[in-house]
Amino acid sequence: MLSIFRTNQVFVSFLLLFYGGLLFSGVLILPVQAEAGPHGFLQHWVNAWLPDTPLALFMAIVIALFLQAFMLNLMEYNYRLDRELHMFPGVFFMLFSAMVPGPDALLPVFMANIFLFLAIYEIMGTFKQVQAAGSLFNGGLFLGVACLFYPSYAVFLLVLFSGLNILRGFQFRERVMVLVGVVVAYYLTGVTAFLTGHWTLFTELQGLHAYGFLDLQAGSSIPYSLIPWAVFLVILIFQHPQFMQKRVIQTQKRITIWYWVMLMSVATLLIQKNLAIWHVHVLALPVSYLTSMLVSRMRPNWAELLHILLLFAALYVQFEPWIFKNFL
């Protein structure tokens, strides 16, 4: 099955809509009360607009995750960070996302990841650009929107700054351009909130009290389904030198940026208020992209076996409540 995505045809990524539909169909079979947890102001609007029905929730989750999976594949198609062109990043993004219990809501992390990816994509595109003001502003603007969905994404400002250091060297005015983009996102949203009578809610969801230090929810525990996340995270850390071997300089720089994203994803634990288990989705973008590079180096039969094992594990996690309810 994985061999379908071992191709240089990006349109194959549309099959991920059906793939995601299979993985998250548990939302339809065993609907639960949607609870998005801590979130930003824009996520509050999305929650208010989204119909509270299992079908609407299922469609929203699958579409949000498909967009991220498709964008990861599009980055691989455009930048070709791996030696072999493939559409694996989207596949492993779906698998890792499904290995977190739930989701029972359109999580703010899902929406924030879309705009975080766009910010990273804009910064990666500035390599050797003489005039990059537009990309820098857009990168900051997209990051600002991501923070308006999930406030702890503010730490990824360090990724954008570090990415610029890696790709272009230090220029103070370029950092200012990124910051202007972030400020504009907050300013426009704040003005809209004020004009619509939601200023108090905006300051509550985006102010300083939206942050906390290692603020775990009471009774939180780490489920066994996160073992694959932990295993691949450790493996990827030690694979960095192998990923860099015999690669052109611009590819090395862009791979390094993904490692910065992974590092800062862990750093969000330090400032996110009311940490829930689904917070691990913050790692989904870098872990899935780098894992796809790792799997592409495996023998095809071993890669297929790994994919099947992860697929069954993800399906079990999603259908576990239904299995225990009906058979155990």
> Measured in whole angstroms, how far is the alpha carbon of residue 225 from the centre of its chain?
18
Residue 327 within a domain: no
Can you tell me whether residue 145 is helix, strand or coil? helix
Q: What is the pLDDT along the chain (328 residues), one digit of tens a residue?
A: 788 888 888 888 999 999 999 998 888 877 655 555 678 888 888 888 888 788 888 898 999 999 999 999 999 999 988 888 889 999 999 999 998 876 767 888 999 999 999 999 999 988 887 788 889 999 999 999 999 999 889 999 999 999 999 988 778 888 999 999 999 999 999 999 999 888 888 888 888 777 877 766 655 556 677 888 889 999 999 999 899 888 888 889 999 999 999 999 988 888 887 777 888 889 999 999 999 999 998 898 999 999 999 999 888 888 876 665 555 5
Residue type at position 41: F
Distance between CA atoms of 280 and 270, rounded to whole angstroms? Answer: 13
| Cα distances (Å, whole numbers) of residue 116 to 218, 259, 296, 318 | 29, 14, 25, 26
Is residue 328 in a domain?
no
Name the pTM for this structure. 0.92
Q: For the chain, what is the domain count? A: 1
Residue 7 lies in a domain: yes
Residue 213 lies in a domain: yes
Cα 260–Cα 263–Cα 265 angle in degrees, nearest 5: 110
Q: What is the DSSP letter of 131?
A: -
DSSP 104-127: -S--HHHHHHHHHHHHHHHHHTTT
Please report whether residue 163 resides in a domain: yes
Domain of residue 299 covers: 2-322
Q: What whole-number distance in Å separates Cα of residue 318 and Cα of residue 102?
A: 6
In a domain, 140, yes or no: yes
111 is a domain residue? yes
